[in-house]
Structure formats: structure tokens, C-alpha cells
Structure 1
Amino acid sequence: MVARQHLPEAQPGAIGRRGENLPPPRCLNCLLPALTLFLCGCTDGAPSSYQGYIEGEFLYLSAPQAGYLKSLDALRGSRVAPGQAVFALAGDPDAESLDEAQARADAARERLANLAAPRRQPEIAALEANLRAAQASLSLAQNRLGRQQSLAERHFVSPASLDEARSQRDQLQGQVEAAQQQLATYRAALGRSAEVRAAEADLLAARAQAAQMRWRLDSKTVRAPAAGEISETYYRVGEWVAAGVPVASLLPDQRRRLRFYVPETALARLQPGMAIEAGCDGCVQPIRGTIDFIAPQAEYTPPVIYSRGSREKLVFRVEAVPLPEQAARLRPGLPIDVRIAGR
């Protein structure tokens, strides 16, 4: 016959497996005051650090013109300097259009120079010789006319001969005047002032068209606007690239930022310009930066009234710019622990 075990007497304050009262453990009674003090200390004091990550603001490089991808000068993961070529599209037919526009500009410049400049000296000398010959012929015609008038008064010549001599004198007089005007024109700028201004306008228009064609051709070679790292390339050499479609993405050094979140209770102690320090897994030295942005509204708003418990769930986004000498080593997405410098 098995002896029957005696159960302990029921104690108020605890409920057992079958509903009977059990005494509370002595160790739990000892830990409750300590746990209460620990929780109070955690809720009353501000946290020593805030969780965040490295954020990268990428630039997507594209060309305003369409064309076949001619070269990919910066590979994925490589660093580029400001002004370094990243990729280039084929220049045809913009290169031929530039040559045509440049030829038109050269022709307009030559026409303007021809209108604005006087004739060459040998041409002017030839016109002067023609003028002297015309003046000599006029002088001879005038002498002949004088003799014919003298003979006509004595009725030795007919009136027709006198009229012929007078007509020849008038004709040679007109030739002298024409030679004088032609010489004056050649000595001055060839053409009128309006023609010169029209030629200048044609030259400006031709140069503007050539500059436009040169910009179209130069824009097919895309260069890095800042120092940074090529994060990704989206096309291969020989593929057709539409206008405005990104071919590569660039992560500039100055576009790497420290982004972290602070609770609503700590927001009043932060302001732009404050120095921060961040640590990460594997970081030999802390990452230093300066706060330059604090979000004007909370990132998370519970759909309840703002009780004390719900306000503790509000967090605000804060961003800081790292030191330039440390920015190039920061990788986007890297988790960090941020603390305010001097705290």
C-alpha cells in the first residue's frame, strides 16, 4: 500500500496549477523593488545614443540627347573626380551639323570683312590712272571744241561739226565724273552702312547656330559634376539610349549624410549646428558631423490621442553632414549609433 503524500497548506495570495493557493517565491519579492527602480531610471533619463544609418543621395547622370552608347569611361564602383568623363554617346550626326554651322559662320565673317574693308591699293591705283586718262581726254575735247567754235564764227565749219565737238566734250565730262565717284567708293568701305550691319547680323546668327551645334555635340559626353563613386551603370556600349534616361548613378562625397531618429522628449534639446559623433560596427574612430536638418513633423504618429504612452512612440528625423575627410568612407545603409557631442 502506497503512502499518501501530504500537500502544503493553502496560503492566500497565489494560485496553483489546480486552483489551490501557493506561496509567492521569495526571490520574486526581492526583485520587484529593484526592477521598479531600474524602470524608473530608464524612463526618466535621456538615452545616451540614438539609432540611425548612413544615407546616400544619388545623382542619376543622363544626356539631353539620344544616341548609341559609344563609351563607358567610369565603371561601376570606381571613383571619379569633378569633370571626369563618365560616358559618351555617338556624335553622329551632330558632328556634321557642327561642321556645316562652322562653315556658314566662316563665310559670313568673310562677307563682312569684304564689305567693311577698302579695296586693295593696286585696284585704287588703276582707278586713279583711269581718272587721269579721262581728264586728259576731256581737256583735249575742250580744246577741240574751242577751235570748232572759232571756226564756226568765221563760217569755216558746219554747225553739225560744232555740235559733234560739244557732244564729245560732254561725254568725256561724264566719264571723268564717273571715274571720280568710283575712286571715292573704292577708297572708302565697299558697301553702304546698312549692308555692313546686315552682314554683322548674319555673322552673329551663324555663330549662334554653330554654338548651339557645339553644345549638342558636347552634351553627348557626360562628366561627373562632383567627386564621388559610380554606384551603378544601366547600359552597355552599343545600346541605344533615349534622351534624359540615366546611364549611371553617382554618389557624391558631399551627398552622404548621417540620418538618425530621436524621441519627442529629446527634440527640444537639439538644434542645427550642434556637433554629433556616431559609431558603427568596425569603425576605428567615431564619425563626426554637424546637425543641419531637423524634421518639422514626426515620422510616426499613432492613430490615437496623444496620451503619455503614445507620445513616447513619436520620433523625429534628424540629419547631419559628416566631415569632408570622413564622407568618402561612409557606405549608405550602414547602421550607426549617434550621440550628441559633449553629453
Structure 2
Amino acid sequence: MQSTIHPHERLADWLSEDMARVSTLIRERMASRHAPRIPEVTAHLVEAGGKRIRPMLTLAAARLCGYEGEHHIRLAATVEFIHTATLLHDDVVDESAQRRGRPTANLLWDNKSSVLVGDYLFARAFQLMVATENMRVLDILSNASAVIAEGEVLQLTAAQNLATDESVYMQVIRGKTAALFSAATESGAVIAGASEASVAALFAYGEALGICFQIVDDYLDYGGAGDSIGKNLGDDFRERKLTLPVIRAVAQADAAERAFWERVIARGQQEAGDLEQAIDILKRHGTLESTRATARDWAQTARTALETLPDHPLRAMLADLADYVVARVN
């Protein structure tokens, strides 16, 4: 029986030569002559089997727009370094124990190493983007780095606050997740010298895909299988994050349910069986299903954004990728 080839695998196959060069560049730039812990920590995460969706988006956007130069390789590596740096920092902030199915770097080494190596990767990212000698690209990626950090800080202030609503949630995920997706696709189009209409279309695609990706991830924390998503089921619950399914359940809560959310989220007094009770509440109010529907809407938004672009095999693969991201909740 022939196994199913997923859209991200087809994309990786199409871009295999470019991705091989990106991987080589990443290995070169994560090296350090004086601090061997830097490549040790970086390799633990970079080589953990991630799909590298973000750098592939940069490569795909550039190739879709007809680019034949070299700078898209540097930009793809830049995007992956920014992403890896944020993961190292996030795991410290969230006190996570698992990432991509493996122990986190902060667990294997320590928080100080994770933070400092993340800082090193941010610096490497800026060296790579400067090498393109394109001020617009530098503006896009440096702005994205600031927006990502802003989104993470906003999530800190919104977490455990039951007054957090969907507008704040959307602002958080546009920052911490969608900003890098849209920067990946937009910078690829810009380096290719694409028209303003194509740049705008690829930005819109990347933003919608990133929003869809995060909503699906938040759904899977309550409705998925831990082994399949590279983290433990209920991590967001234990970290007391107010994600979309919970925000919608809190908005519909009766007095008893409100007291439950106050205890487990606002005060952090969690007991055995609380995760199962939370999932029951989410199902009772239909917020898992409504979250899935919202993710589907954003996937369609991503697909629609591509319609103005020239017909190309990569355009079809990017459209299929949007469907694949939301299909994870089925």
C-alpha cells in the first residue's frame, strides 16, 4: 500500500536542492570557535526533525516569483534561525520539558544556555539578512523579530487573566506566530523583485497560514494526541494559557464553570482530573468544534490570497499546504 505524500513533503521535494543549501548554511553559521555549547544546543533543536515550513515558504515565494539568485538561501536560513531562537526562549518562559518529541534544551542544559544561545542565533540571523544588501528585506525581518517579541510579552500579560478576549488572542498569535510566516513569504517575494500585488498576496497568504497554524496548534492541545504533535496533551492548560477554545468556553460559562476556570487558570490550583474536566467543558460548549471551523476559515483565506498569483506548481503546493495545516484537526 502506497503511503500518502503530504503537501509539505511535496514542497520539500520540489525545493530539495535549495533546502540542502539552506541546511549547509545553517550548520556553518551555528558553529562557534570559542563556545562549543552553542552548536551543541542549536543542533539539538535544529536537527530534531522539524518540517522547516518557514524557510520553505521563503524559498517557495522567491521561486514562485521567478527568482534565480542566491539571496533566498540566506533569507531562508535567517527565518529558521529566528524561529529556533524564539523556540529556545519560549521553552524557558513556559518551563517546557518537551519540544518536537524530545527533551527541551533548557531541560538538558539550563535556562541560561538556552537564552544566550537564542541570542546568538538572533545575531546570526541579522548577519545573514544584512548580507542580502536589501534594506526592504532587512526592514521586513527586523520588524517581524520585534513583533514576535511583542506578541510573547502580550501573551504573558494576558495569560491567567479571564478577561482576555478573542481580539487580544488574535493580537497575540498575529505576533508570536503569524509575523514570521508572513515575513518569510513577503521577504521571498521582495528579494525576487516581484510586483507589489504579488508581494501583498504572499504576505496575506503567510499571515493567514500562520494564524491557521497557531489556532490548529491550540486546538490540538485539547483535542489531539501528544505523540503526534511533539508535545504533551494539555501543555497549554498546565501553563494556564488562555487559547481560543478556553476563551470561548469562559465566555459561555455558568457559575460553576466560571469558578472552575478561576481556580485552574487564574489561581493555578490544578488537581488530578482537571484537564479531563476542562476538555469536557470545551466539548459541552462546542468550542473545540468552533475553533476548528475558525481554523478552516483562515485556511481558506490563505488559499484565496494565492489566486492572483501566476499559475505555477508551487502555487498549488502552497494552497495544498493550507489545507494540510487545518487537516491536522480532523
Shorter-chain TM band: under 0.3
TM-score, with normalisation over the residues of structure 2?
Answer: 0.18
**Structure showing greater Rg:** 1
Higher helix share: 2
TM-score, with normalisation over the residues of structure 1?
Answer: 0.17
